[in-house]
């Protein structure tokens, strides 16, 4: 399951804020600039095993979760972002949701809990 890797490789999961946990995993964009050179922001460093699992989870989420699909499509169609950038945003959102769930110790919320 997708949740086991972040739980095993992120002992900080529930102790950090959303921005901090994405930086630990390596999903926070880092600017590549020096002097007059303006480069694209990249994601790097962090925990590659967690990033790999989140990448696959994001691909499944945009296919089967309407809320994640809406985020992905909004970034691609309305904002003109490339597909990988939009997918990275979905990865960040999944990680932040997982962090919040670990903090509040609730397995699910809303309609999913009733089903």
Phi, psi of 19 (to 5 degrees): -65, -40
3 has pLDDT over 50: yes
State the helix-helix crossing angle for 18-25 and 83-104, rounded to 10 degrees.
120
Q: Calculate mean pLDDT across residues 97-101.
A: 89
Q: Which of 9-18, 33-42, 44-53 has the lowest mean pLDDT?
A: 33-42
How far lies 40's CA from each of 25, 29, 31, 33, in Å? 19, 9, 6, 8
pLDDT over 90, % of the chain: 34
38 has pLDDT over 80: no
Q: Calculate mean pLDDT across residues 63-72.
A: 94
């Amino acid at each position: 399951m997708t949740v086991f890797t972040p739980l095993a490789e992120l002992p900080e999961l529930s102790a950090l804020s959303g921005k901090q946990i994405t930086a630990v995993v390596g999903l926070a964009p880092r600017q590549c600039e020096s002097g007059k050179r303006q480069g694209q922001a990249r994601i790097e460093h962090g925990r590659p095993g967690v990033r790999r699992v989140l990448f696959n989870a994001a691909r499944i989420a945009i296919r089967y979760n309407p809320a994640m699909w809406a985020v992905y499509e909004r970034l691609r169609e309305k904002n003109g972002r490339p597909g990988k950038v939009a997918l990275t945003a979905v990865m960040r959102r999944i990680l932040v949701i997982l962090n919040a769930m670990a903090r509040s110790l609730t397995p699910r919320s809303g309609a999913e809990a009733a089903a």
